[in-house]
Amino acid sequence: MSENTPLPIVYNVNNSSNSVSILQFYRNATNDTGISLIVNSGSQQLLPNGSFNLTSTVGGMVSFKNQTTAVINKTGQYIHEATIQCYSTLPETGTIAVDIINENKDSISADAISTKNITPNSAEIINLTTLQSHQAGDELQLRFGGGVVPGGGNLTVNILSIKWIILEK
């Protein structure tokens, strides 16, 4: 085959998605430390209301509540892709955990979690990708947890940016 060979036509296959939604937090100034959360091995934190400064949707299958919560408007399967850039505050080094929770504060799935070792003043990227079935009316949020290694105390996490894409499958 050469690069000029056309792709075969396949009938009755629809690979297109019906909707895509994006929730995004980004710093407004380079000297801004971002969103600061204090977590430890026994507590979790949600983003404060108004955290996402960009919310957009095509297709309307997801709406946004308090600029922190994604609300599913149509029953179906959705792909979640979250990319979070964060660092810890000196002198703390630790592990950050991120998952997606429902309105009951339960994780939407055992595999909808991501962890990463983070260090002071060195930005790390956390990626979380999962495919989940949702019912209309489901409310979803990002939840953060973790702790200082090896002491087990508090870990201050500074979030520089978040991009959470929800794609209807």
Distances (CA, A) of 152 to 38, 41, 126: 13, 7, 21
Say if CB 35 and CB 134 are below 8 A apart. no
Write down the pLDDT at residue 13: 41
Q: What is the pLDDT of residue 12?
A: 45
Identify the pLDDT of residue 32.
79
Taking a C-beta distance cutoff of 8 angstroms, is the pair 86, 61 a contact? no
Q: pTM of this prediction? A: 0.85
pLDDT score recorded for residue 17: 55
Give all strands (DSSP E) within 66-123, no chain letters.
69-72, 76-88, 94-101, 113-118
Domains and CATH numbers, the chain: 20-27+37-168 (2.60.120.40)
Q: Which residues of the chain have pLDDT under 50?
A: 1-16
Note the pLDDT of residue 28: 80
pLDDT at 5: 45
Contact 119, 88 (CB under 8 A): yes
